[in-house]
Amino acid sequence: GIYDQLGGGFHRYAVDGEWLVPHFEKMLYDNGQLASLYLHAYQAFGDPEYRRICEETLDYILREMTDPGGGFYSAQDADSEGQEGKFFVWTADEIRRVLGPADAATAMAYWGVDRGPNFEGSNILYVADLPDIDRVAGARAKLVAAREQRVHPGRDEKVLAGWNGLACRAFAEAGRALGRPDYISAAVRNAEFILDAMQRDGWLLRAWARGAAKLKGYLEDYAMVAAALLDVYEATFKRRWLDEARRLAEEILRLFWDDAAEGFFDTSKDHDPLVVRPRNLFDNAVPCGSSVAIDTLLRLSVFTGEERFETMAMRALRPMADLMDRYPSGLGRFLSALDFYVGPVVEVALLAPETGDGVALLAGEVFKRYLPNRAIAGATAGDAATARGIPLLENRPLVGGRATAYVCRKFTCRQPTTSPEELAQQLAEGV
């Protein structure tokens, strides 16, 4: 029920115990995070249904929630024409008019309409089991086309930096893992939008709307954007994104660190004065700024080899031990960061010849796998400027002039390989 069976994307939450009747609003942060979750499930288990949901969710964001400049809007409203859910629900008669009797019977059985209305005399389309979606592909396309003629729900067209970071990560990861260059392009455009339109005088700003950005960013904005930039780097191997992530990490330490409490404030030291400077330590609908900052600093320490990023991350993480033990369900991102620290972290260097030949096959073996604790770096062999400051890439020659992969742990690498099959074996064996 909370998944839009026709247009893709997830509604905000269910209002009943069966997860059938949603509050029809769609939030960017839900859809970005759920797209990532379904991608990871597909990588881990290989079920094509997970891939379908991931792609349909990202396609929904591109189609309905993307500003022409590349930013992602915050939300799509629940109501249209004064009625909640009117855009999304169907009566049996409406379906018959669009599809005709034979196709309507199949579609209504598939989406539970033949069981009678389930929402104020109309039907929320749902799938009770998981039969073959191809059975109703034609009917689905016709219903989508008919629905497009309805009055659309309104949108909250603010672009929020932190929420955009969550969605940008999903596009970058899915683009690489699923072989979708359009997703990588969306991630790059979004990163460019944030850095070009949402920064002023060295500050990352929190919100953009109607051509203007305002409000100094909070910790979650800096951390989520920095995390996304690391994923955009892995998706493109363009040095700019790693450098920008590092710059934002430096700003996190400068603006938000609290020496006395060994942790991060949610507001910067230059924020308007408050009676109490806030510090949220629980992950809720979105992970808290502190947990994402810790995770990002740990990842950055592997990419750059700078131990101080790891040191600062662990200074913030260690005081959380008791809370993580007592309330693990509320501190999931902190636990993920701890898992990254404990390791092992899969480190992969991909070196390409000048022609670029062969590196795509090696990269495909890496990115199709579920590797939650990873650092993937890439460059053209001999490009000292790109490799400088990235220990994974430094002094890594090609083997026989061919695209070469190095699989490493703590910068100690196995025998380099030019074979996708051998690389797959090394990754399967761990490090």
Query: Mind listing the pLDDT tens digit for each residue in 140-157?
Result: 999 999 999 999 999 999
Position 30 scores a pLDDT of: 98
Position 429 scores a pLDDT of: 87
Amino acid (1-letter code) at residue 335: L
Position 258 scores a pLDDT of: 94
Q: Please tell me the distance from the alpha carbon of residue 423 to that of residue 415, in angstroms, as a whole number.
A: 10
The full set of domain ranges for the chain reads 13-156, 159-342, 346-429
Q: What is the pTM of this model?
A: 0.95
Tokens 């591109």 belong to residue: 62
The fold adopted by the segment(s) 159-342 is Glycosyltransferase (1.50.10)
**CATH top-level class of 346-429:** alpha beta
Tokens 């022409």 belong to residue: 68
Position 426 scores a pLDDT of: 95
Both tokens assigned to 105: 């019977």
Chain segment 230-266, per-residue pLDDT in tens: 999 999 999 999 999 999 999 999 999 999 989 999 9
With vertex at residue 247, the alpha carbon angle to CA 241 and CA 248, rounded to the nearest 5 degrees, is: 90
Where would I find the H helices in 152-280? 161-178, 181-197, 219-236, 239-256
Residues found in the chain: 431
Tokens 């742990």 belong to residue: 409
Position 276 scores a pLDDT of: 78
Of residues 66, 67, 87, the one with CA closest to residue 78: 87
Contact between 258 and 269 (Cβ < 8 Å): no
Position 128 scores a pLDDT of: 79
Which parts of the chain sit beneath pLDDT 50?
none
Q: CA quadruple 299, 303, 305, 306: dihedral positive or negative? A: negative
